[in-house]
């Protein structure tokens, strides 16, 4: 669907003429016979582009029936685009490099540049950007330039599944230049199919005139056999990450079990919160304390009014602890070197220490509460 411009759009005018005005058939000087008007967004604002179309003045020349467009037109915006290349690249970069969502891109284009595009249109431009990127990625000329100063090549291969249930995407990467060479989805990853990809990598390396000195993979059978067949004598090493993950498997299983145990033991947060909120409701002073059980620690302490009673403050503290503990129990981050269960245990211990510090302070008769010296729960939250 054509882009609809508001009636009061203020376009910057841009005129383009044909650079080479010799008729491609007879060589006579061509005349302007028509104009093409285009409108599109650039990062500098909306543009009206006037393209002067030329044709051969000789009615007998085949060049008369054809028009020639300015050569530079496609360097500003491709046909039927509502945006120039600059906006196109801006969108593609935000999507592919920064991983922005389409909604985010749409919002920022509107806020920062006043460019209003539908989500459909943005999706369409992203798709074209990806096609161009993929074509560029495999451009032999740009590859040769990148590998001019390189002496050796280190290749890796791995299968990944961007969407569960889809075919596995096999990716061949080169490590010295950190570049994806190619990727191909294989419906059935038979040894023959995998070996075909490895042979393709061999052809690429040969075309660059470079020696492959090492292969790295998770050493699944198809890789081991394919690499041995195509690259006899070239070392094939275990990928550190896969190796570590495999070695750490029993540890992570035990860790996951410990996590379940801790979750089972630390319970009843909701009950405590309900009790606190119930206790609070009747104590309505001139400034009732708004306590949101879902609020984060900082929010709930910040909401304590300076004139709040001691009981109100205590309630807020209890709720803040509950929030912190809930955050700890829901945290699933970590990996083989930092198992999530160990993180959870250490964070829960921080909370215990913090509560103990509060109890000790109370025993000592210290009335003044020092919020700054309250780091315990925040480490877990
Ligand atoms: Zn002509």
What would the pLDDT profile of 168-199 be if each residue is shown by its tens digit?
Answer: 999 999 999 999 899 998 887 889 999 999 99
Residue 367 in this model has a pLDDT that exceeds 70: no
Considering the chain, what percentage of its residues have pLDDT values greater than 90?
56
Instruction: Indicate the pLDDT class of residue 277, thresholds 50, 70 and 90.
Output: confident
Cα-to-centroid distance, 68 and ligand 1 (Å): 12
Cα-to-centroid distance, 20 and ligand 1 (Å): 13
Neighbours of 224 (CB within 10 A): 15
Cα-to-centroid distance, 66 and ligand 1 (Å): 10
As beta bridge partners, residue 35 has: 52
Cα-to-centroid distance, 272 and ligand 1 (Å): 89
Instruction: Indicate the pLDDT class of residue 282, thresholds 50, 70 and 90.
Output: low
Average pLDDT, the chain: 85
Neighbours of 197 (CB within 10 A): 23
Over residues 243-264, the pLDDT tens digits come to 888 888 888 899 999 999 998 8
The pTM of the full predicted model, rounded to 2 decimals, is 0.57
User: For residue 309, what are the contacts with CB-CB under 8 A and spacing of at least 6?
Assistant: 283, 285
**Are 348 and 380 a contacting pair, CB within 8 Å?**
yes
User: For residue 213, what are the contacts with CB-CB under 8 A and spacing of at least 6?
Assistant: 152, 153, 154, 234, 235
Considering the chain, what percentage of its residues have pLDDT values greater than 70?
87
Cα-to-centroid distance, 71 and ligand 1 (Å): 18
Residue 276 in this model has a pLDDT that exceeds 50: yes
Angstrom distance (rounded) from CA 125 to CA 95: 11
Instruction: Indicate the pLDDT class of residue 332, thresholds 50, 70 and 90.
Output: confident
Over residues 78-125, the pLDDT tens digits come to 998 999 999 999 999 999 999 999 999 999 999 999 999 999 999 999
Q: Are strands 168-174 and 152-160 parallel, antiparallel or unpaired?
A: antiparallel
Residue 340 in this model has a pLDDT that exceeds 80: yes
Over residues 285-310, the pLDDT tens digits come to 444 444 444 444 433 444 444 455 66
Angstrom distance (rounded) from CA 323 to CA 293: 7
């Amino acid at each position: 669907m054509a882009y609809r411009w508001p009636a009061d759009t203020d376009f910057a005018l841009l005129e383009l003429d044909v650079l080479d005005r010799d008729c491609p058939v007879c060589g006579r000087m061509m005349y302007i016979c028509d104009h093409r008007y285009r409108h599109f967004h650039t990062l500098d604002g909306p543009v009206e582009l006037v393209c002067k179309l030329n044709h051969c003045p000789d009615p007998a020349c085949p060049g008369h029936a054809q028009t020639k467009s300015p050569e530079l037109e496609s360097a500003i915006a491709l046909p039927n685009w509502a945006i120039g290349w600059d906006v196109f690249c801006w969108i593609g970069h935000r999507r592919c490099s920064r991983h922005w969502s389409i909604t985010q891109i749409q919002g920022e284009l509107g806020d920062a540049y006043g460019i209003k595009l539908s989500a459909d249109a943005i999706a369409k431009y992203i798709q074209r950007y990806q096609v161009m990127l993929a074509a560029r990625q495999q451009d032999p000329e740009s590859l040769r330039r990148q590998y001019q100063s390189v002496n050796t090549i280190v290749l890796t291969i791995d299968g990944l599944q961007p969407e569960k249930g889809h075919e596995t995407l096999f990716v061949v990467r080169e490590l010295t230049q950190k570049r994806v060479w190619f990727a191909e989805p294989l419906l059935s990853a038979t040894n023959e199919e995998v070996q075909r990809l490895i042979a393709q990598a061999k052809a690429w390396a040969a075309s660059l005139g470079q020696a492959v000195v090492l292969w790295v993979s998770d050493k699944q059978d198809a890789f081991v056999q394919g690499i041995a067949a195509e690259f006899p004598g070239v070392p094939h090493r275990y990928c550190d990450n896969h190796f570590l993950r495999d070695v750490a498997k029993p540890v992570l299983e035990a860790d996951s079990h410990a996590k379940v145990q801790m979750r089972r033991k630390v319970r009843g947060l909701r009950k405590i919160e309900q009790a606190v909120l119930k206790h609070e409701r009747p104590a309505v002073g001139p400034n009732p304390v708004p306590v949101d059980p879902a609020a984060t620690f900082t929010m709930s302490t910040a909401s304590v009014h300076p004139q709040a009673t001691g009981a109100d403050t205590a309630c807020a503290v209890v709720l803040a602890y509950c929030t912190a503990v809930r955050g700890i129990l829901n945290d699933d981050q970590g990996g083989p070197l930092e198992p999530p269960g160990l993180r959870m245990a250490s964070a829960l211990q921080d909370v215990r220490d913090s509560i103990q510090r509060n109890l000790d302070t109370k025993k000592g008769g210290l009335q003044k509460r020092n919020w700054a010296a309250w780091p315990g729960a925040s480490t877990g939250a």
